[in-house]
Amino acid sequence: MTLKGLDDLDRRILHELQRDARHVSSRDIADSVDASPSTVRKRIQRLESEEIITGYHAAVDYERAGYQLFVQMECTAVIPVRGDLSERALEVEGVVSIRELATGEDNVLVSAVGEDSNDLARIARELTDLGLRVADEDLIRRDIRRAFSGFESEHPTY
């Protein structure tokens, strides 16, 4: 299924889940999208099985959780092994997310969490040992997200 295969109900369900998947039930979504709870549950199951919904994640304030350093490492991987290296990088202790970029030399963004600079140095070493070249590191102050507005209305913007 692709975005073009989504109808307005699917998009509205996705928007509600992105806004707050933890505190919204299928009944709550059904009330806001004018559908039955069973229809909403079936749609969510289909969106999950089609891998449009790929998971449910907690947003964590790492500093409040005791981890003072939240960094993004800009890495370079050769294209033929970029996917494999990204998967393997996610196994490094402290790495919390990977983003593969389609363009540019620094084509893998690694987000990692550590208590101190020794943690970050270890993570960078392990990424290098895997075959990624760490080009730059940026200390993240705050990570703010919101639901994609294209799922919100009957006339999505792409």
Residues 53 and 76 in one domain: no
Residues 130 and 88 in one domain: yes
What is the value of pTM for the model shown? Answer: 0.78
Kindly report the three-state secondary structure assignment for every residue of 54-92.
Answer: CCCCCCCCCCCCCCCEEEEEEEECCHHHHHHHHHHHCCC
Q: Would 80 be classed as within a structural domain?
A: yes
| CATH number of the domain encompassing residue 18 | 1.10.10.10
**Residue the block writes with tokens 């709870």:** 37
- Domain range enclosing 9: 3-57
Q: Would 103 be classed as within a structural domain?
A: yes
Residues 134 and 85 in one domain: yes
Q: Taking the CA of residue 16 as centre, how many other CA atoms within 13 Å lie in the half-sphere pointing to its CB?
A: 22
Q: Taking the CA of residue 115 as centre, how many other CA atoms within 13 Å lie in the half-sphere pointing to its CB?
A: 3
> What are 62-85's pLDDT values in tens digits?
888 988 999 999 999 999 999 999
Of 124, 128, 118, the residue nearest 137 (C-alpha)? 124
Q: Would 133 be classed as within a structural domain?
A: yes
Of 147, 129, 127, the residue nearest 137 (C-alpha)? 127
Q: Would 154 be classed as within a structural domain?
A: no
Report the pLDDT value the prediction gives residue 41, as an integer from 0 to 100. Answer: 95
Q: Which SS3 state, helix, strand or coil, does residue 97 take?
A: strand
In Å, how far from its chain's centre is CA 6? 20
Residues 99 and 47 in one domain: no
Query: How many domains are there within the chain?
Result: 2
Report the pLDDT value the prediction gives residue 101, as an integer from 0 to 100. Answer: 94
| CATH number of the domain encompassing residue 86 | 3.30.70.100
Report the pLDDT value the prediction gives residue 1, as an integer from 0 to 100. Answer: 47
Q: Would 158 be classed as within a structural domain?
A: no
How far is the C-alpha of 55 from the C-alpha of 40, rounded, in Å? 17
- The CA-CA-CA angle for residues 139, 145, 148, to 5°, reads 145
Q: Would 153 be classed as within a structural domain?
A: no
Report the pLDDT value the prediction gives residue 14, as an integer from 0 to 100. Answer: 93
The parts of the chain modelled with pLDDT lower than 70 are: 1-4, 153-158
Residues 121 and 75 in one domain: yes
Q: Would 152 be classed as within a structural domain?
A: no
Report the pLDDT value the prediction gives residue 57, as an integer from 0 to 100. Answer: 83
Report the pLDDT value the prediction gives residue 144, as an integer from 0 to 100. Answer: 85
Kindly report the three-state secondary structure assignment for every residue of 144-156.
Answer: CCCCCHHHCCCCC
Residues 37 and 84 in one domain: no
